[in-house]
Amino acid sequence: EKVQGLLKEMEKREIVPSIVTYNTLINLWVNQNQLELMWRDFKKIKEQNLEPDVLTYTTILKAAKASHNTSCLRDIFWTLQEDVQENQNVRSEHLFNIFIESAFKQSNLEVAENALRLMRKISVKPSPQTYGILIKFYGQENKLNQALDLFKVMIEDQVQPSEVTFGCLLDACVR
């Protein structure tokens, strides 16, 4: 009720909500586990021709992680996939790593692999952290061959593996 009152006051004063306002609202709804209101305000961003940014998506991903709702994660991925075609603001390796970590926490390998494919398609270079998360994921899923194949791709892409990457790979070998 207080939130609606403040929004009406903004409207009365002819103050148009910006992406900062919507990110604040989305964060509020996520913290209160009000996913319907989160999606409502996300749709308003689109309706008002604003561009979601990395903060918008990371906040929504926080909700997906907390809810353990795989369809929510999939919906966010499809929305992101559309946005990255036109919106340079969401072409972030950090955002994709959060996405892949969220998929990992929900055991959704399909979304994690799609996120890596999308990164490559839009020329966002995966980092050692990106590869490490996926290698760890493959290890958890007992997919050693995929973990080793991804490590080869990492080397071919001239991404320097870290000690953590090797640790994830070793862990995958032991499973």
Q: State the chain's mean pLDDT as an integer.
A: 89
Q: Each residue of 16-35: pLDDT tens digit?
A: 999 999 999 999 999 998 88
> pLDDT at position 61, please?
86
> pLDDT at position 73, please?
76
Q: DSSP 3-state assignment of 101?
A: helix
> pLDDT at position 90, please?
82
Q: Each residue of 129-140: pLDDT tens digit?
A: 999 999 999 999
Contact (Cβ atoms closer than 8 angstroms) between residue 106 and residue 73: yes
Grade residue 77 by pLDDT with cuts at 50, 70 and 90. Answer: confident
Q: How far is CA 154 from the centre of its chain?
A: 21
Q: Each residue of 110-123: pLDDT tens digit?
A: 989 999 999 999 99
pTM of the model: 0.81
> pLDDT at position 167, please?
93
- Say how many C-beta atoms besides its own lie within 10 A of residue 41's C-beta: 21
DSSP state of 92: -
Grade residue 70 by pLDDT with cuts at 50, 70 and 90. Answer: confident
> pLDDT at position 3, please?
86
pLDDT at 169 over 80: yes
User: Cβ neighbours of residue 50 under 8 Å, at least 6 residues apart?
Assistant: 18, 19, 22
Q: DSSP 3-state assignment of 106?
A: coil
Question: Secondary structure of the chain: what % helix, strand, coil (to 5)?
Answer: 75, 0, 25
Report the distance separating Cα 63 and Cα 52, nearest Å: 16
DSSP strand E in the chain: where?
Answer: none
> pLDDT at position 15, please?
92
